[in-house]
Amino acid sequence: MAHLEVKPRNGAPWWLWLLLSLIALGLVLYFINRYNSDARVDKPTPDTSINTTAPQRDTL
């Protein structure tokens, strides 16, 4: 029988795994913030505008 030397394959480089994990983390954060942004819109905001059409009189 012939003697065959088999070399193990090298895995993916470490920077590829880092890049894929950062992309996955970014997608998770994007979807979490996208669904939570609607909760803040329902809160009423006070009207702080000034009515400039009404006559400005000194009542003293």
For residue 30, pLDDT over 80 is answered with yes
pTM equals 0.47
**Average pLDDT value for residue range 5-18:** 86
Please write down the HEC assignment for all residues of 1-60: CCCCCCCCCCCCCHHHHHHHHHHHHHHHHHHHHHHHHHHHHCCCCCCCCCCCCCCCCCCC
Rounded Cα distance, 26 and 60, in Å: 60
Highest average pLDDT, of 1-10, 22-31, 33-42, 49-58, comes from 22-31
The predicted pLDDT at position 60 comes to 60
**Average pLDDT value for residue range 16-30:** 95
**Which of the four pLDDT bands, split at 50, 70 and 90, describes residue 19?**
very high
